[in-house]
Amino acid sequence: MKAAINQWAFPNDMPAQEALDRVKRAGFDAFEICGGPGGPVKLDATEAEMAAIRRHADSIGIGLTSVASGVGWDYSLSSPDPAMREKGKEAIARLLQIAKWLGVDTLLTVPGAVTPDISYDAAIENALDAIQGLVPVAERLGVCIAIENVWNKFLLSPVEMRDFIDQFQSPQVGAYFDTGNIVAYGYPEQWIRILGDRIRMVHAKDFRASTGNMDGFVMLLEGNVNWPAVMAAFREIGYDKALVAEYGPYSHSLDAMLAHVRTSLGTIIEL
């Protein structure tokens, strides 16, 4: 299994090639590109720009795992507003193309959210319809729309997420599993076994449940994720791609953060 980190760990204005160089020096195997209206990779990125990133990654021996994006928060696929959903579909279609240009096969996708103004049943109906409209694009490009379990009050059980994904009857719709996001309301190892080979990529995070809010996200091995059980579950389902650490930059030392993450990932992978 590969040790990887995503682009949100770096300053938003740092060129991807520079981030890749830092990743290489820190001893990672792979890197996840992040894109959206606010960057780091913008929605108007060109094929030539993405090809340059790919060439640089190849030249230094760093794999590219996937593309992550929070565009589903900006333009919710569960919105009751058809124009908003259409904006979301357009943005995701563009990110699917960017992923193709980068030579990766997975796009982290936030499928929408339940809010005081968006009921749970409406969220499911709207998200199903929006994603179904994107399936032909994903299938043409060979890039998976990987639905993330995220704090959106939506798809709150592994059985529900499994059945939501299966309704599309397409190999290009799957799951992007986040280990830390689950701890507040479930057990990662259970989700892994139930989702099985639907899991296309993994964000490695840890969470201290007693905190109960965003401050509960802590460094790997410092929270309540049962990493031995999680790694056993990954081995059971045959997942052997990458653990992509998702952490923001430290206030004072990027190098310290990279070292902490790489050491922790190495320990976890060996469990």
In this prediction, residues 177-197 reach a mean pLDDT of 97
Q: Which residue has the tokens 């479930």?
A: 186
Query: What is the distance between the alpha carbons of residues 226 and 16, in angstroms, rounded to a whole number?
Result: 33
Neighbouring residues of 13: CB distance < 8 A, sequence distance ≥ 6: 39, 40
Reported for 39-43, long-range contacts at CB under 8 A and 24+ positions apart, including other chains, are 39/12, 39/13, 40/7, 40/8, 40/10, 40/12, 40/13, 40/14, 40/16, 41/7, 41/16, 41/67, 41/98, 43/71, 43/91, 43/94, 43/95, 43/98
- Whether the predicted pLDDT of 41 surpasses 90: yes
In this prediction, residues 136-153 reach a mean pLDDT of 98
Write the pLDDT tens digit of every residue in 163-175.
Answer: 999 999 999 999 9
Antiparallel, parallel or unpaired: β 217-218 and 206-207: antiparallel
In this prediction, residues 6-25 reach a mean pLDDT of 97
- Whether the predicted pLDDT of 249 surpasses 90: no
Q: What is the per-residue pLDDT for 24?
A: 98
- Which residue type does 145 have? I
Write the pLDDT tens digit of every residue in 50-95.
Answer: 999 999 999 999 999 999 999 999 999 999 999 999 999 999 999 9
Q: Would the pTM of this model clear 0.95, i.e. be above it? A: yes
Band of pLDDT at residue 261, cut at 50, 70 and 90: very high
- Whether the predicted pLDDT of 194 surpasses 90: yes
Q: What is the per-residue pLDDT for 168?
A: 98
* 249 vs 124: which has the higher pLDDT: 124
